[in-house]
Structure 1
Amino acid sequence: MSRRDVRPALLVLADGEVFEGEALGAPPPTGIATGEVVFNTVLSGYQEVISDPSYAGQVVTFTYPHIGNYGATGADDESPRPACRGVIVREPARRRSSWRSDQDLDAWLAGHDVPAIGGIDTRRLTRHIRDRGAVPGAFGPLGEAPDGSIVDKTALRAAAAAEPGTEGVDLVAQVTTAEPYTVGDGPHRVVAYDFGIKTTILRHLSGIATVEVVPASTPAEEVLARRPDGVFLSNGPGDPATVPYAVEAVGALVGEVPVFGICLGNQLLGRAIGAETVKLPFGHHGGNHPVRDVRTGRIDITSQNHSFAVAADSLPAGAALTHVNLNDGVCEGFALPAERAFAVQHHPEAGPGPHDAAHLFAAFDEMMGGA
């Protein structure tokens, strides 16, 4: 990252933990950035992570100590603008070294109005979140803020205590598209619900279908009126219990048309058929989670980003558990064979990688009548 004037900054968690660092990225408009603090274990792909709309309401901590070494390029953005509340790193790279990059990460963050803090002991922070669970936090440069207020430890502690986190908040409404749009020219017709859809997912779907992306609040009857060969339920941020309108629409689509869901789409499909969803202590955020297909024994190393999951023991009759996370046994996917519907919790599009589970897009193609 380019070196500008170094400003001392603090990160304060709602439980009172304090971390010293330096301000990076864009200055928060009020001097303080807040959000639910989580950690991601990827070694690369930081730009894809930061621009993933599923991080709305959250502050992303990178466990890998050296972030920004290959810069940033618009070609790797997963959305038009990041939705996360901020970024936490240990050691920001002093220079970028990739021919693909057109700016360094610090400039990219500033250009997208994303505040960040560097120099943080991310090992200590990660261990704390692992033991305590995801926790609200606040950070900002010390001193006078742009609005004239003073940022100090007391102000940051108060801001962290006031941050509601992601449970019980409809974050999907903040990231979904306002109007329908179409991408791709594949042989099938797919309607994709945008709950926070990633560019890489659209790239995969475009290979098998002409994809019409619709807002999260689109009723089922409007989707069926488009006469799709299949419906896709995208990833997205936050608590699936806060988007009952989406659950209702998905419930009306099941059995009417082939359905494929990823991440939040998996949780919404689960709730639509009567399953329960639960919040995980610190979520799954990383690029190295082993997932087993219980039907075949196949193990895929997967990319993950979610704080909620379907409770496997709540799946109703007719729903078959298909995938489990080998780290902790969490439900990673289920299918409704009679209704031609399936969903997974992990990210087969894998932006960033790995790409072991990309074959699931071919399974959706086959379900819609493809070769």
Structure 2
Amino acid sequence: MKTLGLIDHHDSFCDNLARYFKLLGVRVDQRQSNDLNSLTDIPSTWTHLCIGPGPGSPATVPYSIRMIELAYERLPILGVCLGHQCLAQVFGGNIIASPSIHHGKTSMLSTVPDPLFAGLPSSFRVGRYHSLAVDPYLFPRDLKIIATAQDSGEIMALRHRTYPSVGIQFHPESILTEYGSTLLENFIKSENH
């Protein structure tokens, strides 16, 4: 059985993510981002890591940044919303204010072929809950953009070119997102090198 480490930034969306993963047959080890004792190393039982959504910015969640630094060579990582921004920052990205605030808004996504979107249409609706975004003008070479919002052009998903790390700005667990469960299942199917 696969075991997911889920880093919770005190956000109710993390509980929804945990439920979705459990429905996919995944054991979930949910940890609070500010629990120093539980975030000193990657447990050997974890097969995957999800850095969940939450308030703040990557600068306010240093232990989540540390978990990515410890795990990216060892485990597939999914960053959701704040977690997506954390991934981008770890690999050299810049986080900026989004051109417009997107709390409870939907956008159509434009995707490129990627294992995360296997079996999905190239365009679908996603739920957005964010006011920060990854800067497209100072984008790291080690990452590639795999999805953008059709209405704003903002980066909605990225992937590391070498490691199995992927970030999504939108919320797959939101009722506003089409195919959210399939996205999470596709992530769980990913393996480390």
Rg larger for: 1
Q: Does 1:313 align with 2:156?
A: no
Question: Contact between 2:49 and 2:76, CA under 8 Å: does it hold in 1?
Answer: yes
Equivalent AA in structure 2 for residue 359 of structure 1: T
Cα distance in 2 between the residues matched to 1:292 and 1:215: 33
CA contact (8 A) 1:238 1:307 kept: no
Separation of aligned partners in 1, 2:6 and 2:92 = 22
CA deviation after TM superposition for structure 1 residue 235, in Å: 0.7
Q: Indicate which of 19, 25, 32 corresponds to 1:215.
A: 32
1:327: which partner in 2?
151
Cα distance per residue 1:242-268 (max 9 Å; x no partner): 223322332222112110111111001
Equivalent pair of 2:6/2:30 in contact (CA under 8 Å): yes
Task: Give, in whole Å, the separation in 1 of the partners of 2:44 and 2:99.
Answer: 40
The more displaced of 264-273 and 220-229 is 220-229
TM-score by length of 2: 0.84
Q: CA deviation at 1:319?
A: 0.9
1:314–1:255 distance in 2 versus 1, CA, 3 Å: farther
- Give the equivalent residue in structure 2 for 1:347: 171
How much does 1:272 deviate? Answer: 1.1
Question: In structure 2, what residue type is equivalent to 1:194?
Answer: D
Q: Is the 8 A contact 1:192 1:213 kept in 2?
A: yes
Compared CA separation, residues 354 and 227, structure 1 to 2 (3 A): closer
Letter of the 1:209 partner, please give it.
V
Partner of 2:21: 205
Secondary structure at 1:265 match in 2: helix
The answer to whether residue 175 in structure 2 is matched with residue 359 in structure 1 is no
Give yes or no for contact 1:287–1:354 (8 Å, CA) kept in 2. no
Asked whether the equivalents of residues 232 and 260 of structure 1 are also in contact (C-alpha less than 8 Å), the reply is yes
Query: 4+ residue runs of structure 1 moved beyond 6 angstroms?
Result: none
1:190 equivalent to 2:4? Answer yes
User: Displacement of 1:241 after TM fit?
Assistant: 2.2
Give the paired residue count. Answer: 182
**Residue in structure 1 matching 2:65, options 234, 244, 247:** 247
What's the counterpart of residue 80 of structure 1?
Answer: none
Identity of aligned residues (%): 20
- Aligned residue type for 2:33: A
**Distance verdict in 2 for CA 1:360–1:354, change over 3 Å:** closer
Alignment partner of 1:338 out of 158, 162, 173: 162
> Could you tell me how far 1:280 is from its partner in structure 2?
1.7
3-state SS, counterpart of residue 227 of structure 1: coil
Name the CA distance, whole Å, in 1 between partners of 2:170 and 2:3.
24
Structure 1 residues 354 and 248, CA gap change in structure 2 (3 angstroms): closer
SS of 1:257's equivalent?
A: coil
- 2:183 alignment partner, SS class: helix
Q: Give the AA of the match of 2:20.
A: H
Please state how far the C-alpha of 1:338 moved relative to its aligned partner: 1.8
How far apart, CA to CA, are the structure 1 residues paired with 2:87 and 2:138?
13
Aligned counterparts of 1:248 and 1:201: Cα–Cα separation in 2: 21
- Name the aligned partner's letter for residue 208 of structure 1: G
Partner deviation per Cα, 1:47-71 (whole Å, 9 max, x = no partner)? xxxxxxxxxxxxxxxxxxxxxxxxx
User: What do you get for the CA RMSD once the two structures are aligned?
Assistant: 2.2
Give the alignment partner of residue 224 of structure 1, picking from 15, 26, 42.
42
Q: Which has the higher contact order (CA 8 A, sep 6+)?
A: 2
Cα drift, residue 281 of structure 1:
4.1
Deviation per residue, 1:194-228 (Å, 9 max, x gap): 01252321111112310011110356964423431
For structure 1, the residue ranges without an aligned partner over 5 or more in a row are 1-186
Is residue 282–residue 307 contact of structure 1 (8 Å, CA) maintained in 2?
Answer: yes
Gaps of 5+ in 2: 115-120
Q: Aligned equivalents of 1:274 and 1:295: distance in 2?
A: 24
Amino acid in structure 2 at the alignment position of 1:188: K
From 81, 103, 116, the counterpart of 1:285: 103
